Amino acid sequence: VTTFPAVLTLPAGGSATFFCNISMENDFGLEYSLNWYKETNDSQGQKIAEISRNSPQPKMEKYLLTNHAPSFKIEILNLHQNDSGFYYCGLIAFSESDKVMESNRSHLVVTAAPEKMNATDEPELEEGNPPDHVKAVFLGILLLTGVVVLLIFGYLTVTYRRGGTIPCGGCAEPREKPPVVSVSTVDYGVLEFQRDQNAQVLPETRLADQTEYATIIFPEEKPVTPERGKKHQD
- Model confidence, pTM: 0.49
Domain count of the fold of the chain: 1
Has residue 189 been placed in a domain?
no
Has residue 151 been placed in a domain?
no
Looking at residue 144, its amino acid is: L
Q: What CATH number is given to the structural domain containing 16?
A: 2.60.40.10
Helix or strand or coil: residue 226?
A: helix
Nearest residue to 16 (alpha-carbon basis) of 80, 99, 67: 80
Task: Give the separation between CA 16 and CA 62, rounded to whole angstroms.
Answer: 11
Nearest residue to 32 (alpha-carbon basis) of 13, 64, 54, 17: 54
Q: Which of 43-52, 131-140, 167-176 is predicted with the least confidence, judged by mean pLDDT? A: 167-176
Report the chain's terminal Cα–Cα distance, integer Å: 149
Which domain, by its residues, includes 101?
2-111
Has residue 105 been placed in a domain?
yes
Has residue 47 been placed in a domain?
yes
Give 83-98 pLDDT, tens digit per residue: 999 999 998 877 756 6
Q: Provide the pLDDT confidence category of residue 185 given band limits of 50, 70 and 90.
A: low
Helix or strand or coil: residue 14?
A: coil
Has residue 169 been placed in a domain?
no
* Percentage of the chain lying above the pLDDT 90 cut: 28
Has residue 41 been placed in a domain?
yes
Measured in residues, the chain has a length of 234
Has residue 38 been placed in a domain?
yes
pLDDT at 214: 72
Has residue 121 been placed in a domain?
no
